[in-house]
Each structure stands twice: as C-alpha cells, then as structure tokens.
Amino acid sequence: MGKTFELVDDRMASWLADQPVFFVATAPLSADGFVNCSPKGNRGEFAVVGPRSVAYLDQTGSGIETIAHLRENGRIVVMFCAFSGPPRIVRLHGTGRTILAESPEFDPLAKHFDCDFGVGVRSIIRVDLTRISDSCGFGVPLMTFDEHRPTMDQWSSRKGPDGIRQYWEHKNQYSIDQLRGLDVS
C-alpha cells in the first residue's frame, strides 16, 4: 500500500502545498528525553525548495524543541495527512537545519514561501530529505477546514520585534530536556 519516492515531484509538491496543516516530529538522542510532535498551520509557510529538500517557516512558540533537537542531532520527520479528498499520508524524513534571519541563507530561502512574514517568524527550518514515503491514510478522519487562526499573528504583532526577542530570551533558550535552543543575548 505505501510507496517510497526518489524525489518530491510537481504533483506531490502541489498536494503538500494544498494541505492546511502538517506535523513535525523530532527527538533528542537521550532515551529518557521527550519526543516532540508539533502541528503547523500551512498558510503558504511550507515550500518544496528542491527535489529532495523542503523548508517551513518556524513561528515563535512557547517551546524550542525542534530547534534544540536539530542542533543536537538533525533528525526530523514532516508528516502531512489528507483530511479531505482521497486518503493519503506523506512522511518526509531527513536532516534538518535551522536558518536564522541573520544567516546569509535566509533571504534566498525566504523567496520560496508564498506568504507574508510576520514578526513572529523565528527561523526557517530546512530539511534535506533522506526518505520520502506515503501510506494509505484510511484511518485519518474526514474533516472540513474552516480557516486559519489569526491568533499567532495578532499575538506576535502586539509584542513587536523587541517583545518577541525578549520572549525568545525567556522562553526559547533551552528545551524541556535542557538542550540549547536559541542563542539570544
């Protein structure tokens, strides 16, 4: 039933872009560390940047698990599910890197996204793919999509750039496993 693919072709890229939500999972190397799985809204915030490379905008959040895990070991999987239309799940396994706004890689990579960058964008996560696969998705429920929540953009706009930076200093320097997250000073 499931297949593996050598690359993300145009058809798959279009399907991925059409999904309103995706999930990102990472884990620390420590056996007693916490596995992290985060839902991500997709308002043009996910992009296929090459046949074996994808990226997404990393919004400011209360945790820093993904960035901390990527700093430690790079392992990541991005999963998409079809909640409408034909059933399908796509998993994109790979090695991830965090690209911060001050990095020379940021602006060229940012051109791949079809959305406005709000003040809450913390970084771009780039994933070089090592395994591309799909599966049936027969167990995924059919659900209707109403709209994306405006809450994240409203919250980060109210804080402004200085407030977001202060938030990073207080909430995003270490993961729940005490792994290093953002270097903010």
CATH of the domain at 144: 2.30.110.10
Residue 179 domain-assigned?
A: no
- State the residue range of the domain holding 122: 3-171
Residue 123, in any domain of the structure: yes
Number of domains forming the structure of the chain:
1
**Does 151 map to a domain?**
yes
Q: 60 lies in a domain? A: yes
Backbone torsion region of residue 59, taken as left when φ is above 0, otherwise alpha when ψ lies between -120 and 50, otherwise beta: beta
In tens digits, the chain (185 residues) has pLDDT values of 689 999 999 999 999 999 999 999 999 999 999 999 999 999 999 999 999 999 999 999 999 999 999 999 999 999 999 999 999 999 999 999 999 999 999 999 999 998 888 899 999 999 999 999 999 999 999 999 999 999 999 999 999 999 999 999 999 999 999 999 999 87
Q: Does a structural domain hold residue 120?
A: yes
Contact 8, 16 (CB under 8 A): yes
Closest CA to 35 of 69, 81, 72, 73: 69
* 178 within domain boundaries: no
Query: Is residue 181 assigned to a domain?
Result: no
Could you tell me if residue 182 is inside a domain? no
What predicted TM-score, i.e. pTM, was given to this entire model? 0.96
